[in-house]
A and B are shown apart, each in its own frame.
Chain A
Amino acid sequence: MTSVSANRAVLAAQDLQRRFPLLQLVALVALFVWGIVGLPAFATRPSIDSMLVLASFLGIAAVGQTIVILIGGIDLSIPNVITAGNLLTTLLGGKHWSFGEIVAAILGGAVVVGAANGFLAHHFRVPALIITLGSGSVVVGAVLAGTHASVYGSVPGWFTHFVSPASTVAGLHIPQVVLLWIVITLVVGVVMHLTGIGRRLYATGANERAAELSLVKTELVWVGAFAASAVFAATAGILLGAWSGTGEQAIGDPYLFLTIAAVIVGGTSLIGARGDYWRTVLGSLILIVLTTNLVGHSYSEATQQIILGLIILAAVGTYGRDRALRDRV
């Protein structure tokens, strides 16, 4: 009978982990402690603010990846849309477009790109992986060709301050961009958990056929999800434009594995619509603290990438694997 109670204990632990990202919180705390112990000035105000700002960029870029993974897809065009957003921000800024016009144009373009991704993937039943791989290439190639990849533009001063770790909100020591992230997190949380749209999204990811039969317009869900993904990626690109000050050809590249890792490390499963954006927030924080530690200990970017790949394997191994063949007979 002990095997039964052991079984029950395992099920209870899995259930708890499903509801509450305990493992992730422990990991975050552990990494933070590692930082304090191993690196001087890790826990100083500027250092923490920097980490929060970087986490904001990642977190915002990863909103879309979270949503898309929840419905059973993946978005490989995020890094390219980030790069495109970044290049266009500085280019158009240099051409003296107003900030509002720049944002409207870039986000509008992102909506179109993302909607096309979602439509093509769903309507033609082609894996989103492939569609976003292709569209990402088209987008970044077009923008690079258009901007000739060398961009020295300009960004409004207040915007540079917005993304600076030194900025504050109403006297509180929260960088302004972090406040934006917090607001986004709250809005996304409300939409996903409390609205009809969110329920339909989860239903589509959990069982698309059943969702269709339950009158969910799954095509709209896909179009909307990928459009949102592109919009958030473009937003991150715009913010990065302020952060770096110039347009960079490869600025978005690390965000491919970073956004995917943030979602997975946070505990969202790749199959079956299990997870949410809170977890990705945690995942983003974990990743930034981890990479800060790694950089502090002089690990190269290449090594960081290797480590992240292994972490993804470990995380998916814990809660992301398919059913065994014998259970599908």
Chain B
Amino acid sequence: MASQSLTLPFVGAAWRDRILDGLRDNTYVFALVLTVALIIANTAVLPAFASWSQVPSELGTLAPFALAAMASTPAILSGGGGIDLSIAPLMGLVNIILVTGLLSHGLGNPAIAVPLLLLLGGVIGAVNGVLVGVLRYPPVIATLAVYFVLGGIDLRLAPDPVSTNPNWTNQLASTLWHVPGTIFTVGVVLLLWFFFRRTAYYGALFAVGDDDVAAFASGVNASVVRIVAYTLGGVLAAVAGIALTGTIQSADVTVWPFYVLIALAAVALGGTALTGGRGGFLGPALGATCVYLIQNLLSALGIDVFYVQVAFGAVLLVAVVGGAFLGRTAQRPRGAG
């Protein structure tokens, strides 16, 4: 990806850098094109899909997909085999606590509930971060073990689904103050990401994600960078859990397991490399949109829900294999004849 010394008219060097930076991570273009194609397909099958009144609730259903994908991203970006499998059960935990612990006990005021839940997400994310960044557990196994623990907790707290009365989360999944509620979840996160890109931490995250040894040897505190990455993931998972509550309006342990695969498929579709050091939030968000649209299309076509499971699995496989096929680096030893 050689960039020539480009001089753009009216644009100073600093702006030019920003534009180039943005274009450099254009791996999400494929997801963007696919999104457009899927929107067209969905509208063709069910014209009501594109009606203005449906959009807020569609976005509301999309929100947990996108947020789960974005929550999985910081861990992947931080490299070293980074991945966070505990995002989905954490979503579930937030969902369950919000419904059974807060809303049903009169503590559902968003001013109380939201910070509390975000804190919970952050703490659990930090646990993952310490396991990986300080104690050097392989990320797969650390987050998998946490997945089991959280899954067990979820099952204990809500063995059967518990519905909730209409509450403020419902507006997140539909309309809030005349705009789609999703603006306040996904929109806010994307906006924060935009500013996040200017921070010092951002550069450190990508350095550590690409080559942690080089970063460490140059004085970057790789452990702290990874702890923060997983903590961020936890906080975003909490947001995802809140958005999820908005759509399902209940505490239900059978829902979150799907998000493991959905999140990873979305990240892969969006073009983020699983090896770390490359990517952003836009890719996963677009990838999640594709996954959501595929699910929507299949159910609009009346296809058996089990085939949706097949489809998700297939999408994940195609996305990762396709991504590996297209983008790659490694020199492999030519051992095999």
Contact = CB atoms under 8 A, between A and B. Distances in A.
Contacts of A126: 274, 320-321, 324
Given A302-B156, A306-B152, A134 B136 contact: no
B152 A74 contact: no
B145 A310 contact: yes
Interface string A292-312: 000000001111111111101
Interface stretch (A50-58, A168-176, A215-223): A215-223
B335 to A, nearest CB: 3
A23 to B, nearest CB: 19
B177 interface: no
Nearest to A208: B333
Interface string A269-281: 0110000000000
Contacts of B212: 325
A192 interface: no
B138 A212 contact: no
A324 B136 CA distance: 7
Given A141-B308, A217-B336, A316-B137, A305 B152 contact: yes
Among the interface residues B309, B310, B312, B313, which one has the most CB atoms of the partner chain A within 10 A? B313
A317 B142 CA distance: 10
A206 interface: no
A257 interface: yes
B140 A129 contact: yes
B6 interface: no
A135 interface: yes
Interface stretch (A3-11, A142-150, A151-159, A240-248): A142-150
A317 to B, nearest CB: 7
Nearest to A257: B148
Contacts of B320: 124, 126, 130-131, 134
Interface string A123-143: 011110111011111111110
Given A120-B321, A145-B306, A320 B148 contact: no
B217 A329 contact: yes
Interface size band for A: 35 or more
- Listed from nearest, the 9 A-B pairs whose CB atoms lie closest are A137-B313, A141-B309, A212-B335, A309-B148, A306-B152, A305-B152, A302-B155, A309-B149, A141-B310
Interface of A: 74, 120, 124-127, 129-131, 133-142, 144-145, 149, 209, 211-219, 257, 260, 264, 270-271, 300-310, 312-313, 316-317, 320-326, 328-329
Interface of B: 80-81, 83, 131, 135-138, 140-142, 144-149, 151-156, 159, 212-213, 216-217, 222, 260-261, 264-265, 268, 274, 304, 306-317, 320-321, 324-325, 328, 330, 332-333, 335-336
Given A126-B324, A309-B152, 14 more contacts: A130-B320, A133-B264, A141-B312, A145-B304, A216-B335, A305-B148, A306-B149, A309-B145, A310-B145, A312-B141, A316-B145, A325-B212, A329-B216, A329-B217
30 contacts: A124-B321, A125-B324, A126-B274, A127-B83, A127-B140, A127-B274, A130-B268, A131-B317, A134-B314, A140-B309, A141-B309, A141-B312, A141-B313, A142-B306, A145-B306, A212-B336, A264-B141, A271-B138, A301-B155, A302-B156, A306-B149, A310-B145, A312-B141, A312-B144, A313-B137, A313-B142, A313-B145, A316-B141, A320-B138, A321-B135
